[in-house]
Amino acid sequence: MKLRHKLLTIPLLVVSAALLFLALNLSHSESCPASQSLAPGVASMKAVVYRCYGSPDVLEVVDVEMPVAAPHEILVKVEAASVNPLDWHYMRGSPYIMRLQTGLGAPSDSHFGRDFAGTVQAVGVQVTEFAVGDRVYGGANGAFAQYLTRSATGSVAKIPDNVSSAQAASVPVAGITALQALRDKGQLQPGQKVLINGASGGVGTFAVQIAKSMGAEVTGVCSTRNVEMVKSLGADHVFDYKRENYIDSGQQYDLILDTVGNHSLSANLRVLKPEGRLVIIGGAKGDWIGPLAGPIKSMLLQPFVDQKLIRIMAQLNGEDLSTLAGMISDGEVTPVIERSYSLDDTAAAIRHSEEGHVRGKLVLTIE
């Protein structure tokens, strides 16, 4: 072998070995450790925990130590929580690349669940934003539990009196994603035409209603059984994806919100006006490249097209939670709740969410 070839082969082998090592480490899942019982006399509560990656079978409802609010934190008695696809991505540690953040081999944090609503039980000495007895909702690590602590600032807001805990709990991730996709990424204006692919899901049911309240002409895409529901949320037009394909409709939209990712970017561009925007919210499933394919392709394609191809990573924050709480209180938006589960039935709720056909939101009602 010539020296030039040898010099090229060595770095290639090193890079390949490094990639293989990384791939093996990322995809390796440790087995679940045995449950540990609490020491006698420790104040406890029930919580859903996951101590290894895998199917919903890894979720355990166990007694854990009761949390205590730090000086800048609030202690919340959780009354309701809601399920998002985000939860089962954490549970499976998938796509694997997220394990760089959540833990290699096993989750580094066993707390589970994100969206919550409840009542403030105690406040840390530095807290001025909330008082004991306030009804609050938002995002917290470990929302699927009887109690949680979280910072008094950031992604938490008060619940209006005429909004139930179940309604509030259904909002954070899905409602904020819909709001930020339409308002910030989509820059939706009154009178514009918006298409929402996946209109019957958690994000979609909020997006249809928020887009209507912003004065847009709304088209939803869902399956046959959800057509009437999506119309009842205010959609002006509905495509039943079992019978027709919006890509072949001959229509053009100012904005497309894609929560499903089942059509190629070039197909979506055909139904987007020349100055239109495509906001990519959800994508294909898969442990490796699948969920990242849409966002990566959109970055590569962007320099060659006039329309804007936009990726979103929704940011929970108190201001947007207050905006959404106000919209629900005023009747502009009504959360769609398909079904409520007990904390003990969390695994069943997650299984249903993973099937990909939730109608609105799944809520956990916590005793």
Q: Which residues bind ligand NAP (CB under 6 A)?
A: 84-85, 173-174, 177, 197-198, 200-204, 221-223, 226, 241, 259-260, 262, 281-282, 312-314, 353, 356-359
What dihedral angle (degrees, nearest 10) is formed by the CA atoms of 351, 353, 356, 361? Answer: 160
Q: Give least dist CB 203 to ligand NAP, A.
A: 4
Q: Give least dist CB 112 to ligand NAP, A.
A: 16
- Based on CB atoms, which residue is closest to ligand NAP, 26 or 196? 196
Q: Give least dist CB 113 to ligand NAP, A.
A: 14
Counting Cα atoms < 13 Å in the Cβ hemisphere of 286 gives: 11
Structure-block tokens of residue 168: 């509030």
Q: Give least dist CB 357 to ligand NAP, A.
A: 3
- Based on CB atoms, which residue is closest to ligand NAP, 67 or 283? 283
Q: Give least dist CB 50 to ligand NAP, A.
A: 18
CA distances from 278 to 201, 229, 244, 316 (A): 18, 24, 20, 21
What 3-state DSSP class applies to 46? Answer: strand
Provide the b/e sequence for 278-302 (b: ≥16 CB within 10 Å).
bbbbbbeeeeeeebeebbebbeeee
- Based on CB atoms, which residue is closest to ligand NAP, 152 or 195? 195
Counting Cα atoms < 13 Å in the Cβ hemisphere of 214 gives: 26
- Based on CB atoms, which residue is closest to ligand NAP, 74 or 256? 256
Q: Give least dist CB 286 to ligand NAP, A.
A: 11
How many Å apart are CA 175 and CA 46, to the nearest integer?
Answer: 27
What 3-state DSSP class applies to 171? Answer: coil
- Based on CB atoms, which residue is closest to ligand NAP, 58 or 207? 207
Q: Which residues contact 120 (CB under 8 A, 6 or more apart)?
A: 74, 75, 76, 130, 131, 132, 133, 134, 135, 136
- Based on CB atoms, which residue is closest to ligand NAP, 204 or 276? 204
Structure-block tokens of residue 175: 């409602």
- Based on CB atoms, which residue is closest to ligand NAP, 26 or 203? 203
Residue nearest to ligand NAP (CB): 201
Structure-block tokens of residue 268: 């979506």
- Based on CB atoms, which residue is closest to ligand NAP, 142 or 204? 204
Q: Give least dist CB 224 to ligand NAP, A.
A: 8
Structure-block tokens of residue 110: 């066993």
Q: Give least dist CB 327 to ligand NAP, A.
A: 18
Place of tokens 């609030």: 74
